[in-house]
Amino acid sequence: MPRRTSCYMVSYVILFSTVGLFTVGTIRADDWSQWLGTERDGVWREKGLIDKFPKGGPKVLWRKPIAAGYSGPAVVGDRVYVMDRERASDAEGKPLRPTRDGIRGNERVLCLRATDGELLWKYVYDCPYTISYPAGPRTTPLVDEGRVYTLGAMGNLLCLNATNGEVVWSKSLMKEYKLEEPPVWGWAAHPLLDGDRLYCLVGGKNSAVVAFDKNTGKEIWKALTTEEIGYSPPMIYEAGGKRQLIVWLSESIQSLDPSTGEVYWKQAYPTDRPPQRPAVNIITVKRLNDLLFLSTYYHGPLMLKLDPDKPGASVVWKGKSNNPARPDGLHMLMGSPVLKDGHIYGVCAAGQLRCLDARTGQQVWETLDATGGKKGDCATAFLVPQGDRFIIFNDQGDLILAKLSPKGYEQIDRAHILEPVQAARGREVVWSHPAFAHRCMFARNDKEFVCVSLASES
């Protein structure tokens, strides 16, 4: 087995266009500037979109080659940002064998022109992998005020000039926090930006979560110790008269003061047994009014109620099953749940799209239609509300227009967009969340990056 070590920060920038020809403006309402969009809630708010697909499917504006990775794209202005990984190969193109330092290869940050997919610049750094599922980076780039922030699978945290890819600052979380090894599946929790603070799950003693200065990369505060940092991204919600930084670690979910890292409250998860190792707390913690929802593949759902008068939370209901083969409620894996009109919509362990009553956890209905019509281990789909319907992208590369309500699942239309080319859990899958911006969907698998128009003709 290779020894686990940090990435080598030997890097370079390649420019493909004159910098002055392309500018990065302020974030617009129709951008998708980070994980789950500019508002970080997974809602697509644009109008002027098609009601149904034209014959043959939506119009493909461009397709471009890309290397492997789970990183979803971010779209700001006329630019698209995404990460991938090229595995090192010999002169004949065969992948090099792993060494004591890991599986050799480069992580890349790519900047493409949104209108035609032309590569404008790329930033590349040497990055041996010592993690499971070593396909590539996991997190979505975060774009703000002319800078792009990225977090690689081996803990390389970068701040780049969004116009030309030049490094503003960089750090290796492995080295700076003296970590002996990376998380089992690498760093996968999407960074959160709030004001001048960039929040990241890091790991190590008293540094499970760290707030960095977004301009310099300097540590502002660090807090919490955990066996595993997990993969669910930090979120900020306001409740009980306070803005609360919600951090879900492998043993518990906690609320912190975003300014200082002081703990407001803590709730064990799971509540009645030791956590599964390695932990699979992946989904984004979602809020509906005074409710806060989380779930994992093994331990199932937990619904909390936020205290209206002070920072605090209490258990409303929880799942009973610890077996994803017999899941109660929602045993979710990757796709973030949608909490809407008193109900929860999400994809369960084997691909069952389910609707639950948010107040009780009682299942209202389920269907396999959105994920391929039959059960599959870790089958999933990404659910994106848009107006009075949902845009669904499943792990078979299908784009679906559908209506979801307590009455059931109603498919409007379906089109195949990308081939599932990555082997996982005995299936071929696409496990990268698309971006929805400029009346288009931007999506990728391990071989190509595609932009399809969903704009109405009028």
List pLDDT tens digits, range 254-282.
999 999 999 999 999 999 889 989 999 99
- Please state which of the ranges 33-37, 53-57, 65-69, 98-102 shows the lowest mean pLDDT: 98-102
pLDDT reported for residue 445: 98
pLDDT of 162 above 50 = yes
pLDDT of 393 above 50 = yes
- Asked whether the beta carbons of 8 and 117 are under 8 A apart, the reply is no
pLDDT band at 44 (very low <50, low <70, confident <90, very high): very high
pLDDT reported for residue 27: 77
pLDDT reported for residue 176: 97
pLDDT reported for residue 295: 97
pLDDT band at 381 (very low <50, low <70, confident <90, very high): very high
Residue that is written with structure tokens 């999506």 in the block? 443
pLDDT reported for residue 24: 55
pLDDT of 284 above 90 = yes
pLDDT reported for residue 16: 61
The token pair at 38 is: 């500019």
For the whole model, what pTM was predicted?
0.95
pLDDT of 446 above 90 = yes
Alpha-carbon distances, residue 205 vs 152, 170, 227, 228 (angstroms) = 21, 21, 9, 11
pLDDT reported for residue 368: 97
pLDDT reported for residue 8: 53
pLDDT reported for residue 55: 93
- Asked whether the beta carbons of 333 and 349 are under 8 A apart, the reply is yes
pLDDT of 237 above 70 = yes
pLDDT band at 3 (very low <50, low <70, confident <90, very high): very low
pLDDT band at 347 (very low <50, low <70, confident <90, very high): very high
pLDDT of 20 above 50 = no
Averaged pLDDT of the chain = 93
pLDDT reported for residue 79: 98
pLDDT reported for residue 11: 63
pLDDT reported for residue 9: 55
pLDDT reported for residue 4: 43
Once rounded to an integer, what is the mean pLDDT over residues 308-323? 94
Once rounded to an integer, what is the mean pLDDT over residues 135-156? 98
- Asked whether the beta carbons of 197 and 258 are under 8 A apart, the reply is yes
Once rounded to an integer, what is the mean pLDDT over residues 203-221? 98
pLDDT reported for residue 323: 81
- Please state which of the ranges 13-22, 190-199, 402-411 shows the lowest mean pLDDT: 13-22
Q: Give residue-wise pLDDT tens across range 79-127.
A: 999 999 999 988 888 888 888 889 999 999 999 999 999 999 999 999 9
* Cα–Cα dist 144/74, whole Å: 11
Answer with the residue of higher pLDDT: 139 or 95.
139
pLDDT of 32 above 50 = yes
